[in-house]
Amino acid sequence: MQKSAVIALQQALQLNDEHVNGALNTYMLTTCSQWLQTNAASAGALNWQSWPAERQAVLCLQLCCRQAGVNPGEPDGWWGPQTAYAAEQLAAIQQQGKPPPAWRDNFTTPANPNQWPLDREAELRAFYGEPGSQLVKVSLPYPLRLAWDLSTTVLSTQCHQKVATSLQKVLEQVVLYYGFDAVQQLRLDLYGGGFNLRAKRGGSSLSTHSWGIAFDFDPQHNQLKWNSSKAGFAGADYHYWWQCWEDEGWVSLGRSRNFDWMHVQAARL
C-alpha cells in the first residue's frame, strides 16, 4: 500500500495526529483489525479474520472508501489500481471536501448496444459462461505484432464467441479510418494479449481476460499505473481508436479510470 494511501486511511480512522504518519506499522495494523471487528457488517461474509494483517489493512481502506462514497472495486483486501485510484479520491475528499475534478470533463459512459455485463464475476459467468469456455478463433482485419516479440506477427486471435463480431467490426473501422501505415505509426498493431485464464494483477478475482473478452495493446507505452500525462493512448491521435471501441460498448480503463490505458474490455464498470 502506498504511503499516501496509508495516510488517507489513518485520517479516515480519525487517528491522533502523531499516528498520521503513513507508516503501516504494528499499531496501524492492530487498529485496522480492531476497526474491522467493530464494523464487521461492512465486510459482509468475507472471512477476513484469517487474512494476513496487511491484507486486512487494504480491506479496511476499501471499506473506508465506500463509506466516503468512493468506489474501490470489490472489497477483497488486495491492493490494485482501482483501490489506488479510490485512495487518491479519498485523500482529495479529506483535503478539499470533495473529489478532484474529472481529468476528462468530456468523458461520457459509452453506449452498450451489445448489452455487455458488469465486470463482476457473477454477472460475467451468467453472460459468458465458465472462464475459458466458448472461445472461437477470429481472423484479424490487419496483422498484429506481438508486443513482447516484434518479429512475430499474428493474423488471428482467440476471443469469446459473443464478442467476436464486435471485435472484428472495431478493428475493421480502425484500419479503414487510419490506414495501415498510420496504424503502425500509432502502435495500434502492438498486441499485448487477449485470452489468459488468470487473476487480476494485484488481486484474487478473475481478470476479464479469463473469458476472452479483454485485450491489451502497446503495453510498453501504456503501462499499468501510468495516467493520462504519460500514457500514449491518452493523446488526441487516439480519439477515433477509442470511439470505435466505445461505439460497440467496450470499456477502456484508461478513459474511464485513468490507469491501464493498454486495456479494453467487453464488460462494464
- Same domain as 130, residue 69: no
Average pLDDT of the segment spanning 7-25: 90
Strand pairing class (190-193; 135-146): parallel
Are residues 125 and 255 part of one domain?
A: yes
Report the alpha-carbon distance of residue 133 to residue 160 in Å, rounded. 7
The grid coordinates of residue 160 equal: 469469446
Q: Tell me what the mean pLDDT of segment 241-250 comes to.
A: 95
Q: Is the predicted pLDDT of residue 107 greater than 80, yes or no? A: no
Q: Is 103 among the domain residues?
A: no
Do residues 74 and 178 share a domain?
A: no
To 5 degrees, how large is the angle CA 79–CA 234–CA 99?
55
pLDDT (tens digit per residue) in 209-221 = 999 999 999 999 9
Quick one: 173 and 247 in the same domain? Answer: yes
pLDDT (tens digit, 9 = 90+) per residue, 142-200? 999 999 999 999 999 999 999 999 999 999 999 999 999 999 999 999 999 999 998 87
* Domains held by the chain: number: 2
With respect to residue 108, please indicate whether it lies within any of the assigned structural domains.
no
Domain interval for residue 52:
3-96
Coil/strand/helix, residue 220: helix
Same domain, 147 and 47: no
Residues 88 and 148 in one domain: no
Do 189 and 256 lie in one domain? The reply is yes
Mean model confidence pLDDT for the chain = 90
CATH number at residue 137: 3.30.1380
Q: Do 127 and 243 share a domain, yes or no? A: yes
Closest CA to 215 of 156, 167, 182: 167
Domain membership of residue 66 (yes or no) is: yes
